[in-house]
Amino acid sequence: MHRRCVGAGSAIITASLVLGLGAVRPAVAQQPAPPPTSAPATSSDDTEEPPRYLDTVTVSATLSPSSVRETPGTISVIDAAAVERRLVESIADLVKFEPGVYVETNPTGVGLNGFNIRGIGGNRVMTQIDGVKTAEQYDFGPFNMHQIALDLDTLASAEIVRGAASSLYGSDALGGVVSFFTKDPTDYLRGRSVRVAGKAVFDGRTRGTSGNVVIAGGRDRAQASLFVSRGFGHALANRGTVRTEDATRTAPNDQDRTSTQVLGRLVVTPTPGQRLRGTVEVTDSDIDTHAFTSQGAVVSGPSVTQVSNVMARDRMRRQRYSIAHDLPGRGSLVGWHWNAYLQHTDQSQVINEVRAGATTIDREGSIDYSQHGFGAAVQARQAFTPAGGTLLMTYGAAVSRDRFDVLRDRTDVDAATGVVVPAPPTSPLPTKYFPLSDVTQSGAYVQGDLRIGAVRLLPGLRYDRFSLDADQDDRIYLDSFNPVPEDFSAGALSSKIGVTVDAGDRVTFHAQYAGGFRAPSYNAINSGFTNLQGRYTALPNPDLRAETSDSFEFGVRGGDRRLSLGATGFVNLYDDFIDLATLGVNPATGLLEFRNENLAAVTIRGVELQADAVVSDTLRLRASYAVIRGHDVSGDEDQPLTSIAPDQGAIGVQFDHASRRWGGEAVLRGAHGQSVDRVNAGDFTPSAYAVVDVTAWMQVQRDVVLRAGILNLTNATYYEWASVRGRAAADPAIARYTSPGISGVVSLGYGW
């Protein structure tokens, strides 16, 4: 209760500040800043010295260009040069040098899911591409919904906002924001009128090959680009050596992966200060798995069924159509921006297996999941000149509507007769995990950016409304013994106030309070599934309350033109945190019941350190470290949050020859061992590890660059927390979740 009073008081203070800041004299219009749908301008000249950590420019944290040094919160910016230099081939590669951030994963299935920031993951972290939210993460049993499928060669930059950002981004940003900005045609053209580029990659971790081609052209008023990529690969390698065809297997399952991505963009500049940007993105991926680990004997009461030849196919299709328009301001209006989008995501999983018991059954099960949505946003900036300072006001509003649906079906055929075996009345098919659901989200916000002398003050306020319209007449859902689904709505006012103070001698202090809000998900409210053979059921919970949070952050940054240092401490307090709870066995039904419940209170706290030193014109050092702790503090005894990764760190040495024709980087990254008091009883606790990755590059000719890397140089055997979180210590096949041993990655690029 006390924490909510803190949040309410901060909202009142923030509202007063925002309203008060607006009551000052308007300034004349300035050149509009880049909108939040595009990355800040960066140089592609390899001979130009890259910015230090504190001088890196971000747009996601404040919705306007700002250096990390001047930003109250904690931000990471990863540019295209870093992606290429480190041979980044996945979103997990992208953040492996970002302690406190990891990608949640299912190593034996479809693989990577969504981001986890400071122990908060899933749909509590907003992930967006060019200002458009990606599909939501969804998983139930063996089915996992990809949250993002993006060829990282399209990236201009990626930005990670740590901590609640609901005051700018709404309900989906309770844990933070990951923003991807894809390249514009000018990023490929680099001053030319026409350019053709291509790249080929081999990744030893998956024995995968991929290639891409980009064609770009245009002049001052209009430019266009078309990026096409195609990839082939297999399951991610591990250190497992047992190759049995049952649950004791520790080697990877046999798997074939294919992916295709097309990204087309047209940019038109009809008048100075105005820009119209249209994007079409199409992604297609297929994963075929021989699931040996799902084979073997299945015991159900007195009967034993032998399951064999389990084949799974996961297929994902995504289309995104978006348009963004930047317009110049007039008078005190600096500029304004609007964007709209339409996107479709469809994913299916088909599993075929042979079940031999009293009779032999050929079974085919399928799950089809879809999310179709559209949305729009508008934003304006207005400049003022209060006495002795400057003020930039940002106003915005956004609305989106998404339709979610799922269908589960199964067909059993008697292998001897070819006759379809009907499903028993107690297990009707087809069925659904949730009813057809329409979700509407809308919000409006205002933010002030006041600079007076050495002080920068950033108050912000946003109101969000969440509405769930569930189909009460969804017969498939109702016929599965589920209650009539219920609608849900919630609203909240989220506030933020941040401050930076330039203390002189290149030292800056920063502090921030941010309130967070997240409505319960559609599938948590109306979840419904019963497995009589497994003797369990997932129950709906229409009485769930929205999650709220109060986040406090304090830190200091300093350095000169050759050195950047930063230290940040944070405390995040969550109320009504939603988690899946085990209710026990219902004596009336004999079924083990699960239901999403509100936990009274969760606390996460930690410290993050960053360092960046330019030793000479050719040598650069970087280091980072994070210590994070989290607990459910709602009961008599604190319980650990298993989403918190062990203490992590990384240190790297980068060398680029003075000719800028070759260079390399060596990075040591590692983690402390997980302690038993930070996991649930009986969970696996991985040991500490240290891994060395070495990469090098050489400009073979003017437009030809060869890059190569040796990952896990010492061939260490280790476990990433994302792979083993929640797994049993007694699991005899735990080696299945080890990370790859020594591996090579090679790329050859033309025009990159």
pLDDT the model gives residue 386: 83
Please name the helix (run of DSSP H) or strand (run of DSSP E) that holds residue 92, with its range, or none.
Answer: helix 91-94
Q: What residues does 596 pair with on adjacent strands?
A: 580
Categorize the per-residue pLDDT at 173 as very low, low, confident or very high, splitting at 50, 70 and 90.
very high
Q: Is the dihedral of CA 330, 333, 335, 340 positive or negative?
A: negative
Instruction: State the pLDDT at residue 39.
Output: 64
List, in sequence order, every residue forming a beta bridge with 740; answer none if it has no partner: none
State pTM to two decimals: 0.91
- State both tokens at 621: 């050092």
| Secondary structure element (H or E) that encloses residue 167, with its range | helix 166-169
Continuous segment of H or E residues that includes residue 477:
helix 475-478
- How far apart CA 86 and CA 707 sit, in angstroms, is 9
Helices (H), 222-378: none
Considering its fold, how many domains does the chain have in total? 1
**Residue 253: which of 240, 263, 262 has the closest Cα?**
240
Task: Report the distance separating Cα 289 and Cα 741, nearest Å.
Answer: 22
Q: Does residue 15 surpass a pLDDT of 90? A: no
Cis peptide before 430, with omega less than 30 degrees from 0? Answer: yes
The two structure tokens encoding residue 734: 């735990």
SS3 10: helix
Over range 181-202, report the average pLDDT: 95
Cross-strand partners of 261: 229, 283
Give the model's pLDDT for residue 9: 54
pLDDT at 33: 45
Question: What is the pLDDT, as a whole number, of residue 50?
Answer: 55
pLDDT of 459 > 80? The answer is yes
Contact residues for 48 (Cβ-Cβ < 8 A; gap 6+): none
Domain that holds residue 735: 2-750
Distance CA 37, CA 338 (A): 10
55 pLDDT more than 90: no
Q: What percent of the chain has pLDDT over 90?
A: 69
Query: Are the CB atoms for 548 and 516 separated by under 8 Å?
Result: yes
> pLDDT-derived band of residue 324, with 50, 70 and 90 as boundaries?
very high
| Backbone phi and psi for residue 553, each to the nearest 5 degrees, phi listed first | -140, 135
Q: Is residue 429 helix, strand or coil?
A: coil
> What's the pLDDT score for residue 241?
96
Give the SS3 label for residue 59: coil
- Give residue 47's pLDDT band: very low, low, confident or very high (50, 70, 90): very low
* R_g of the chain computed on alpha carbons: 26
Phi-psi sector, 329: left (phi>0), alpha (psi -120 to 50), beta: beta
Whether 395 contacts 420, CB under 8 Å: no
Question: Is 597 strand, coil or helix?
Answer: strand
Rounded CA-CA distance 108/167 in Å is: 37
Alpha-carbon distance of 191 to 173, in angstroms, equals 37
pLDDT exceeds 80 at position 533: no
Q: Is 19 left (phi over 0), alpha (psi -120 to 50) or beta?
A: alpha
Q: Is the pLDDT of residue 4 over 50?
A: no
Question: Could you identify the residue written with the tokens 């990877």?
Answer: 252
Supply the DSSP string of 567-579, one letter for each residue: EEEEEEEEEEEEE
pLDDT for 421: 94
Query: In CATH, what number is assigned to the domain containing residue 418?
Result: 2.40.170.20
25-34, 434-443, 496-505: least confident range: 25-34
Task: Tell me how far apart the 2 most distant CA atoms of the chain are, in Å.
Answer: 88
What is the spatial distance between Cα 4 and Cα 517, in angstroms, rounded to a whole number? Answer: 12
State the average pLDDT over residues 363-381. Answer: 96
| Residue 357 DSSP code | S
d(CA 700, CA 703): 8
Query: Which residue carries 């989906």 as its tokens?
Result: 172
Helix (H) or strand (E) holding 168: helix 166-169
Express each pLDDT in 652-667 by its tens digit. 999 999 999 999 999 9
Min mean pLDDT across 153-167, 504-518, 528-542 is at: 528-542
Alpha carbon 752 to its chain centroid, in Å, reads 26
Nearest CA to 682 among 745, 642, 726?
A: 726
Contact in structure between 601 and 633 (CB atoms under 8 Å): yes
Q: Which is higher by pLDDT, 331 or 241?
A: 241
Q: Is residue 49 predicted with pLDDT exceeding 90?
A: no
Lowest mean pLDDT among 142-146, 328-332, 458-462: 142-146
Q: Is the pLDDT reported for residue 370 higher than 70?
A: yes
Beta bridge partners of 597: 579
The phi and psi torsions of 674 (rounded to 5 degrees) equal -80, 135
Please, are residues 391 and 24 in contact by the beta-carbon 8 Å criterion? yes
Question: Minimal CA–CA distance to 578: which of 539, 548, 604?
Answer: 548
Neighbours of 557 (CB within 10 A): 23
